[in-house]
Structure 1
């Protein structure tokens, strides 16, 4: 497909992967509560691999947004993963980020039932933390 200037454009925008950082980090009892920011950094670094390789049903590369709140705020973005600090409610910010997908695939990673309901209303797909963590590992 070509744009108005004759430059080839991608036929489909990459899936927007939105990760509920607090929920995913909290799903593994590995001592994250002693160093919330460090746990968020480890999750961010894991997500870099997912951004490149993709996930089942969502081939890479993915556009990844990791949403953080509370004591985990302040983690820097890295190539492949954009980190956004929620200014208030993490759930509200995740809903707003998912709404930005408008017309392209969006997958939200969370186990929070109410958040799952809210993002599904905006047309996003939802999956649990194991989708990005793998089986039983942090």
Structure 2
């Protein structure tokens, strides 16, 4: 697949992990760690957007809230190109802030919010792609499905 427009994905981790009833609620931090591992393979990759058009994932931002924050106790980079924000309160407020921050500094790219949350989508003036798109993309890129059973 060739190049395409550059996008920065801002991921609503709770919404993406919660989109599939696979037992994630028994180990929220583990599910978040698996999501972060999958997201770590995306920066620099050319993938298909929900319409089948090529896009280059320039970077990924993800917000962890609640018990999922234990996946990365200190926040920061989980891997090259993935910025993790640990929401001290509302995950939605943190996502809105992250979209605004990235939109203000992004040069020559597009910020895309990955969530199915209609209320959140209405709060930000950027494109939104559903969690099913991301889950399918990550599942296709690895044999270890994101949010699958814990490694216990």
| TM-score tier after normalising by the smaller chain length | 0.7 to 0.9
Q: Deviations over 1:18-50 (max 9, x none)?
A: 000001000011110000000001011111222
Give the TM-score normalised by structure 1: 0.79
2:30 is aligned to: 38
Distance 2:15 2:57 in 1: 23
Answer with 1 or 2: which has the greater Rg.
Answer: 1
Distance 1:61 1:31 in 2: 29
**Residue 29 (str. 1) matches residue 31 (str. 2):** no
1:108 is aligned to: 113
CA RMSD of the aligned region, Å?
Answer: 2.2
For the 8 Å contact 1:67–1:83, the answer to whether it is kept is yes
For the 8 Å contact 2:8–2:57, the answer to whether it is kept is no
Distance 2:96 2:54 in 1: 20
Q: CA deviation at 1:14?
A: 4.6
Give the TM-score normalised by structure 2: 0.72
- Structure number with higher relative contact order (C-alpha < 8 Å, ≥ 6 residues apart): 2
For the 8 Å contact 1:15–1:58, the answer to whether it is kept is no
After superposition, where does 1:12-23 map in structure 2 within 5 Å?
A: 14-23=6-15
**Is the deviation greater in 26-35 or in 68-77?**
68-77
For the 8 Å contact 1:16–1:64, the answer to whether it is kept is yes
**Residue 81 (str. 1) matches residue 86 (str. 2):** no
Q: 1:131 aligns with which of 123, 128, 133?
A: 133
2:75 is aligned to: none
For the 8 Å contact 1:47–1:132, the answer to whether it is kept is no
Unaligned runs of 5+ in 1: 1-12
Distance 1:58 1:124 in 2: 18
Distance 1:50 1:58 in 2: 13
